[in-house]
A and B are shown apart, each in its own frame.
Chain A
Amino acid sequence: MSRERIGASELLRLDAVAMHYGAGENSVTALAGVDLSVKRGELVAIMGASGSGKSTLLTIAGGLVTPTSGEVVVDGQYLRDAKPAQLAAIRRRTLGFVFQDFNLVPALTAVENVSLPLELDGWKRSKARRAALDALHLVELDDRADHFPDDLSGGQQQRVAIARAVVGGRALILADEPTGALDSQTGELVLRMLRSRIDEGAGGILVTHDARHAAWADRIVFLRDGRVVDESRRDDPSALLAAGA
């Protein structure tokens, strides 16, 4: 496989990524050769039925799983070449995950949850806290910084998770059904916030089974049996929301 230098604006590239579980007759193909690129300012939604390969694609893009074949390039770095410590550093510094069930640490306040990945990365506590407060400001939760997750609504918890995903300048947001546990209006608010971060220069993958939510993306890719079967892109890939919306 050729290893071209990828464009500076390209945050993620998957080249012919395939994933097979098991071997021989019992082998199951989760992904059968997927190409995908995510640039800064771009949100790509992945849709598909259960078992189509959506979640596998996200775990591979996030460096949590190494594909059977194909290349994953995150912010210019080939993950296959990365040593475990390097891989962990890429995950801490470049990638932010948002999950359906928020995955906040219940014993930590909102601002502590957001600053945690920075502190794990060696930031001083005071600097990490300032960055976390900035990130909470972006999702309009300044006044909830010192609340524990149990004291926050589902929508607020997911906004904390988005703040955690972008804190410290992390650029690639990987969101797995982020609105799955939220009511319709709250889900839309969370998507607006996610979209704002993208419009400000992050990139993202949004895995969802909900077309209404996928429509916030610039590009929508349909997976079936581990392959891309359809793709829809907006004609005008400019920022969806006015800055600061």
Chain B
Amino acid sequence: MSVRHGLLALLSQGPSYGYQLKVEFERRTGDSWPVNVGQVYNTLDRLERDGLIERGETDGDGHVFYAITDAGAAEARSWLEGPVVRGAAARDELAVKLALAVTLPDVDPEAIIHAQRVATIRSLQELTRSKAAGGDPDSPEEFAWQLVVDALIFQAEAEVRWLEHSEARIRRLRARTGSEGAARGATASAPRTAPAELPATTTASAR
């Protein structure tokens, strides 16, 4: 997602000027994504350059109004109706850190899991607290904000589940191989195989 698409979606509802767009964007996303007005003006310049919006009238207060073009409306629709494609999960820093940790002889991957779990749970507690303390969930702003908070809550929950899953796999592997070193040695010789995916024959011989 970019602010660009957000602004286009707002402009598809009618002409607007920079500061108004900033305020509307933040209000409609429950203030979960603050944008500075300079970023809005830069984005508007690029949208104009790309023919997706056009500069209209200036009102008495000097506000420059922008209107969406047909190409811009098509772009906004395409963004709203299309799925969001995320970056590859393999580039997730935590996953990469843990993947590296299990191959390093002097690093305890379980310690990484513990530290991360406490941190993630703590942020989950904070998110839950801010959601619980929120105002009337039926007001449009509060509803929008809670949708965003829910997304963060579910992401944090998924991370905790993944950490537990990874911890169980690491422990199971250690139990099978009988030593941490065996797991790491095997991993190093077979770099394309995740540690817990080692064939049973490999691990059984290390017992």
Measured CB to CB, the residues of A under 8 A from B are 49, 192, 195, 210-212, 214-217, 220, 222, 229-232, 234, 240-242, 245
Contact = CB atoms under 8 A, between A and B. Distances in A.
Contact of B128 (A215, A222, A229): A215
Contact of A241 (B124, B125, B133, B157): B133
Contacts of B128: 212, 215-216, 240
Contact of B121 (A195, A220, A241, A245): A220
Given A195-B132, A211-B161, A212-B154, A232 B114 contact: no
- What size tier do the contact residues of chain B reach? 20 to 34
20 contacts: A192-B132, A195-B132, A211-B120, A211-B124, A211-B157, A212-B128, A214-B124, A215-B121, A215-B128, A215-B153, A217-B125, A220-B121, A230-B117, A232-B122, A234-B122, A234-B126, A234-B129, A240-B128, A240-B132, A245-B132
Interface of B: 114, 117-118, 120-122, 124-129, 132-133, 153-154, 156-157, 160-161, 164, 168
Nearest to A220: B121
A49 B168 contact: yes
B164 A232 contact: no
A217 B129 CA distance: 10
B74 to A, nearest CB: 36
Contact of B124 (A192, A195, A212, A231): A212
Contacts of A192: 132
Contacts of B122: 232, 234
A234 B129 CA distance: 9
B125 to A, nearest CB: 5
B202 to A, nearest CB: 25
B156 to A, nearest CB: 7
A97 B121 CA distance: 25
Contacts of A216: 128, 132
